[in-house]
Structure 1
Amino acid sequence: MPENHDASPLPTPLLELAARHGVVPDFWGFDGQHRFVSEKTMVAVLAALGVDASTPERVGLALENADDDPWRRVLPPVVVVRAGSPTEVPAHVADGQPVTVRVELEDGAGHRELVQSDAYVAPRTVDGRVVGRATFVVPADLPLGWHDLVAQSPDGTGRSTLVVVPDRLELGHGLAERRGWGLMTQLYSVRSERSWGLGDLADLREMGWMAGRRCGADFLLINPLHAAEPGSRMTPSPYLPVTRRFVNPVYLRVEDIPETAYLPVAERSLVEWQAEVARPLSDDGPIDRDTVWGAKKVALEVVHAAPRSAARQAAFEQYKELEGQGLEDFATWCALAEHFEGRTWPAAADDRGSELVKGLREKLADRIQFHCWLQWVADEQLADAQRAAVEGGMRIGIMHDLAVGVHPEGADAWAMRDVLAQGVSVGAPPDMYNQQGQDWSQPPWRPDGLARAAYRPYRDMLRTILRHAGAIRIDHVLGLFRLWWIPSGAGAQDGAYVRYDHEALIGILCLEAQRAGAVVIGEDLGVFEPWVRTYLTERGILGTSVLWFEYEGDRLMAPEKYRPLALATVTTHDLPPTAGYLAGEHVDLRDRLGLLTEPVEVVRRAAAQERQQMVDVLTSRGLVGADPSERELVEALHRLVLASPSVLVGVSLADAVGERRAQNQPGTDTEYPNWKVPLADSAQRLVTVDDLFDNPRLRSLVVAVNDAIAHEVVPAT
């Protein structure tokens, strides 16, 4: 990166204020140029953080508040500390007043009195009151967990949250001794004869068990299963959900809900009729989520109305208690979305504490219970899928995917206004592929809001996802360090980076993953600061290496140089399947869609050169002979990735069966059937779960992968 010899054009007080709130005033462009954020952008981003910087006088006042705010609280709102590392915590009381601080351990496991250090800090006058600071030492030997800090003085009691997190998330599942491999798929794209038009949680259970038993796979990575809109139109992208905590009930297998078996004849016939409605008229797609959900929703309402046994009802009540207010709020939003579908929500409905919403909670109580119930049966079916995968022989099991953010008008945006920023969206600055930048339309976490909430919304989201997971992939894990905030109405290029407390976010991720016994993979592709990957490795978070993206200068990087602590793959869901990529179909598709910024002949020539360079590498290593077939090339590419020391290797299910069509074409919306393509083989014949593991190409690729692993000894770290 070039050295910065430029002075910022922004006023010094504004720069100081931005620094206090983690707003970065400059960045390095993809072209190597040092760029400054405009004053207009800085003011707008600070406003989204609740800071008025609209005039020099307001900036001065905001700086004073930034200095005074910590002294207004007895204790910080949250303290996150690594196990084995002592830390100091300030306590603020009226100057001269005595104060004691203790730690109340999680789950009533006792308490510890903290020792006050002899560090002297001069008192400060805040809001006309002289405030003193006492400093206490949090000992290094506290157990992992979510504890309470309690400060007591003659003025009263102050409480805070203390989170003790692992210094490092250690590899489990025997990965330190033997590397693992698994399949990667978009669940909705792989259906069975019994599923209703798209792949569901019963199909996931079948695939997990079969992939473990018949293929020797260790994990099955799937797309995010986050919930989408509950109404008649569902956003296809699994990466733009209404919430990241709860599950899209379109993935439910209605027949696997125990009460379905005891339905009276008429109700049972209705369920069976809806199953026929949901099944597609043709095999080649596109997948019609709206039709599937419309039919499945009717059937689920029938099953929900059926009586449950005392034990089943008790289990439902226990689940609601476990998920608490978060589940209640999500279900309420779903009921409101149904109630107002096709109409503009009144302003009061956007406030979950308004009198209107309170009244609607009562009026829509039955629908709220229905949406809570949907999550309970989804939780049961997810548990079944993970259990089956492990029983089938997988060491890890289901690897869930966590999207970057949520829909700006979804359930999380409605229920979490205190922790999600308003007036901005998340995106990315310009790069060589998107020279206008990207706006993902998702509201970002507010760093200050998360701290005030003691990171509980983040923790609760992780706990729900990890409950039935052997691993979790964090899409754009770099967002736990900084995110590109774009003010409403501005272009994607007119944003600014906002920093997060990565020590807290990564630490809590490690804590919850360790408690769940899960592996964590961070998708760390794209623009990042060099130290970030080192930091993630030190914390035990796996990175991501994609063969087509790993270059040294203009040459492919030798896989032996890949990071050991990584998930290595040939491709990713944002690229075409390898067969299509090798055939240059991605160029033809972008040409047809008008996405090319250069003449198509130039792009085709570059793609052919890239392919030839890859074939030359394979040939030089003896992985292919002269004039290799498509299948031979795909298998050789996976053998090449297996030459890396990466502890996990992923195999795309699309690659395994010879699919050529992309699941997603970046830069398009309705121009291409993104996230709607059912899995098919090289001849575009539908591949179902029922015949998947007898597919000749899949069997051949599995043999190649297992043979390569059987003849290696690879250190995991």
Structure 2
Amino acid sequence: MTAQRPAEASPQEPAGPEHPEDPPSDELSRLAELYGVAPSYQPSPGRTVTASATALTLALAALDVDASTPAAVGAALAAREQELSERLLPPTVVCWSGAEPDLRAALPPGTRLRIETEQGGTRTAFDQLPPGVHRLTATTPDGRTATSHLVVAPPGLPTPPGRSYGFLVQLYSLLTRRSWGMGDLGDLAELTAWAGRALGAGFVQVNPLHAAVPGAPTDPSPYRPSSRRFPDPVHLRIEDVPEFAYVEDRERVRTLSERAGRLREAVLEKGALIDRDAVWAAKREALELLREVPLGPGRRAAYADFLAREGEALEDHATWCALAEVHGSDWQRWPAGLRHPRSPETARARRELMDRVDFHCRLAWLTDTQLTDAQRIAREAGMPVGIVHDLAVGVHPGGADAWAQQEYFAAGMSVGAPPDAFNARGQDWGLPPWRPDRLAGSGYAPYRLLLRALFRSAGALRIDHVMGLFRLWWVPQGHAPTQGTYVRYDAEAMLAILVLEASRAGALVIGEDLGTVEPGVRETLRARGVLGTSVLWFERDWAGDGRPLPPESWRSDCLATATTHDLPSTAARLTGEHVELRDSLGLLTRPLEQERAQASADTAEWLALLSRLGLLRGTGGGRCASQEEAEIQAVHRFLLRTPARMVGVWLPDGVGDRRPQNLPGTWDQYPNWRLPIADATGRPLTLEELAASPRVRRLVEVLRDGVARRRG
């Protein structure tokens, strides 16, 4: 989601509690707490905000708890207290390897425990349990029995293999001379092979590649997907699908090739925006064509294995895609009988549309295969990490995941952010939240399968808004974000599942922990080996004088970058062009001159520090062609001076691109998610041109030298 300043950056706010117009009763607050719904929160030290009775009542309703009247609250409270007092085991129990969970003290004396492991064995003790999600049964002397999911996870993730630098890029924005109008998985493989072999880069981080919700036009944001579990076939490199070479209608192949060329030329030569819908229309036609080519025995066996591995989840996803072709992409507007994946009407429609269901299953397989190939190529190129995939915080309410897994989503709720000093109205991201109770009751099954699918083709996973593992701001539909409240998740269980699946894949985890972060969250993540995210312009001594944080004071367990996809590029930040852009779109909250002065002062402070440290070396000597380039190099020398284990370089910074890929606060006023990488003049550049760029080469020399010195 949108990167925000850390909470410590907030101006001084009044201390003391704040109460809503309809404050909750003590009983309602107590009931809310017992279900993990927070009756209050602290946006800053010494300041407490009380949630409204409306917010608590609606959040509880989304958890199937009736709190609509005082009598209902009393009855629900009594029932919940009795349920918790009589419960032998919680729905999910966490056991970190080498430590026994604190269970026995709460169980009646003489209670017997039995553990059925996912590997098929049976145990009666917690020592030396294999990692996995097992079944725990407790039986009391009086015959009462309870079962629970037992998550056994390693105590933490290993540290990154040495120190490395890598590139951050929005894949759609990276075109080659073979692209069909937007970057694809073939381009990603080409980037990783070049960056790993020729530049010594350790990783490439991309935007979420989740399946999008089709539309007219399709929402281009990769952070509101239809499905996080399955990737989007728009990223396929068509020519790399083996069957494409055997299409008999060569005239149609030639026509499609010419069409792809026109899409590519429109972006690279004519200044057109990336048109995802036009690209998908051409690729879909090609995929329909190559589907007529029979699979060979080996390919058919591989496809059958994929179908068996993905099972019901894939069938549901493909069914939603097939139904969306007939009824539109919002399942909540479909005929009533089709609004649930297990209904008789859906079963009948699935049979009738089996050909289309199989088509979408095959697309998922082809995309999964190319993703896996891209990671293999990255590792073969010498990258110790490879591809860093991005997990969006949620899914579109009308999409495939929300339809297939609707019992796990909180009806009538949306994820967002509470008001703060920089956004008094709060935020509503339009994404339905997962229900913590249903997740726990299933042993976190959908979460586990989601992570497992992503880790299959990832050397690392970036988790957007990682604070969501602990709590999320729930906004009732039809209400302002100010009328929301926090709902807690079992962070220990969420982290245990994350560590378990990442360890099985041998992958790293990076948490996007920008914005308001609850006390203790970063420490908990660090203890389990989850890296954080540090962005240069936000790293200041907020507890002291507010000056830029010197490099030795940065944390080591992080990915350090100069910018992100929804912040200004480094060139725009250094020149102040980001202020002019926001002014032209009416986004400034203060007069232009004040914004200019503040931005200039911020930049001047950083440049002064870079100069004092001897990192700003000016032009000449073939090292840089301009002062701006020298300053960008100095910024990255600074990042390399920090102890950060991973240093990320926004790839457009290598050529002085001015334009942000996403400008928060805009929709159709700015071409979010539709811009190709460009040079300082706005001319689009291909990967081939990036690889030949003297400016990129000079920046890479800085990066390689810095990494080598730190290793030495």
Q: Secondary structure at 1:712's aligned position in 2? A: helix
Cα distance, 1:71 vs. partner? 7.2
Q: How does 1:473-552 map to 2 (within 5 A)?
A: 473-552=462-541
Corresponding residue for residue 129 of structure 1: none
Choose which of 602, 607, 619 in structure 1 pairs with 2:599. 607
Cα distance, 1:30 vs. partner? 5.8
Q: Secondary structure at 1:498's aligned position in 2? A: strand
Partner amino acid for 1:170?
P
Choose which of 293, 302, 306 in structure 2 pairs with 1:315. 302
Cα distance, 1:91 vs. partner? 13
Q: How does 1:672-691 map to 2 (within 5 A)?
A: 672-691=670-689
Q: Does 1:569 align with 2:581?
A: no
- The worse-fitting range, judged by mean Cα deviation, of 665-674 and 624-633 is 624-633
Q: Secondary structure at 1:50's aligned position in 2? A: coil
RMSD: 2.5
Q: Does 1:26 align with 2:40?
A: yes
Cα distance, 1:2 vs. partner? 8.6
State the alpha-carbon separation in 2 of the partners of residues 103 and 673 from structure 1: 54
Partner amino acid for 1:709?
V
Partner amino acid for 1:279?
R
Partner amino acid for 1:212?
G
Corresponding residue for residue 205 of structure 1: 189
Q: Deviations over 1:386-419 (max 9, x none)?
A: 1111111111000001111111111111111111
Q: Deviations over 1:562-600 (max 9, x none)?
A: 111111111111111111111111111111111111111
Relative to structure 1, the CA distance from residue 587 to residue 259 in structure 2 (aligned partners, 3 Å threshold; closer, same or farther) is same
Corresponding residue for residue 9 of structure 2: none
State the alpha-carbon separation in 1 of the partners of residues 258 and 707 from structure 2: 47
Relative to structure 1, the CA distance from residue 92 to residue 216 in structure 2 (aligned partners, 3 Å threshold; closer, same or farther) is closer
Relative to structure 1, the CA distance from residue 71 to residue 25 in structure 2 (aligned partners, 3 Å threshold; closer, same or farther) is closer
Partner amino acid for 1:53?
A
Segments of structure 1 that go 5 or more residues without pairing to the other structure are 115-137
State the alpha-carbon separation in 2 of the partners of residues 515 and 366 from structure 1: 35
Cα distance, 1:274 vs. partner? 4.6
Q: How does 1:378-527 map to 2 (within 5 A)?
A: 378-527=367-516
State the alpha-carbon separation in 2 of the partners of residues 701 and 32 from structure 1: 45
Cα distance, 1:497 vs. partner? 0.8
State the alpha-carbon separation in 2 of the partners of residues 157 and 377 from structure 1: 46
Corresponding residue for residue 253 of structure 2: 268
Corresponding residue for residue 6 of structure 2: none
Relative to structure 1, the CA distance from residue 90 to residue 339 in structure 2 (aligned partners, 3 Å threshold; closer, same or farther) is farther
Q: Secondary structure at 2:201's aligned position in 1? A: coil
Corresponding residue for residue 555 of structure 1: 547
Contact 2:267 2:684 in 1 (8 A): no
State the alpha-carbon separation in 1 of the partners of residues 203 and 18 from structure 2: 49
Cα distance, 1:4 vs. partner? 5.7
Q: Does 1:289 align with 2:300?
A: no
Cα distance, 1:359 vs. partner? 1.4
Cα distance, 1:275 vs. partner? 2.7
Q: Secondary structure at 1:530's aligned position in 2? A: coil
State the alpha-carbon separation in 2 of the partners of residues 298 and 71 from structure 1: 60
State the alpha-carbon separation in 2 of the partners of residues 270 and 107 from structure 1: 53
Size of the aligned set, in residue pairs, is 683
Q: Please, what TM-score do these two structures have when normalized by structure 2?
A: 0.91
Q: Secondary structure at 2:231's aligned position in 1? A: coil
Contact 1:476 1:525 in 2 (8 A): yes
Cα distance, 1:355 vs. partner? 2.3
Q: Deviations over 1:205-239 (max 9, x none)?
A: 00011100111000000000011024553210011
- The worse-fitting range, judged by mean Cα deviation, of 230-239 and 288-297 is 230-239
Contact 1:413 1:420 in 2 (8 A): yes
Contact 1:91 1:151 in 2 (8 A): no
State the alpha-carbon separation in 2 of the partners of residues 367 and 478 from structure 1: 39
Partner amino acid for 2:703?
V
Q: Does 1:163 align with 2:151?
A: yes
Relative to structure 1, the CA distance from residue 80 to residue 280 in structure 2 (aligned partners, 3 Å threshold; closer, same or farther) is farther
Q: Does 1:646 align with 2:660?
A: no
Cα distance, 1:281 vs. partner? 2.0
Segments of structure 2 that go 5 or more residues without pairing to the other structure are 1-12, 620-625
Query: Quick one: percent identity of the two aligned structures?
Result: 48
Q: Deviations over 1:643-677 (max 9, x none)?
A: 11111110110101211111000001111000001
State the alpha-carbon separation in 1 of the partners of residues 709 and 501 from structure 2: 35
Partner amino acid for 2:205?
L
Partner amino acid for 1:272?
S
Q: Secondary structure at 2:428's aligned position in 1? A: strand
Partner amino acid for 2:359?
F
Q: Does 1:243 align with 2:254?
A: no
Relative to structure 1, the CA distance from residue 330 to residue 579 in structure 2 (aligned partners, 3 Å threshold; closer, same or farther) is same
Partner amino acid for 1:222?
V
Relative to structure 1, the CA distance from residue 572 to residue 53 in structure 2 (aligned partners, 3 Å threshold; closer, same or farther) is same
Partner amino acid for 1:162?
L
Q: Deviations over 1:425-470 (max 9, x none)?
A: 0111112332211110101111101011210100000000000110
State the alpha-carbon separation in 2 of the partners of residues 306 and 39 from structure 1: 61
- The worse-fitting range, judged by mean Cα deviation, of 190-199 and 26-35 is 26-35
Corresponding residue for residue 617 of structure 1: 609
Contact 2:415 2:475 in 1 (8 A): yes
Choose which of 52, 68, 77 in structure 2 pairs with 1:54. 68
Choose which of 320, 331, 335 in structure 2 pairs with 1:346. 335
Contact 2:214 2:329 in 1 (8 A): no
Q: How does 1:60-209 map to 2 (within 5 A)?
A: 60-69=74-83, 76-89=90-103, 100-108=112-120, 110-112=121-123, 114=124, 138-150=125-137, 159-172=147-160, 174-175=161-162, 179-209=163-193
Relative to structure 1, the CA distance from residue 232 to residue 11 in structure 2 (aligned partners, 3 Å threshold; closer, same or farther) is closer
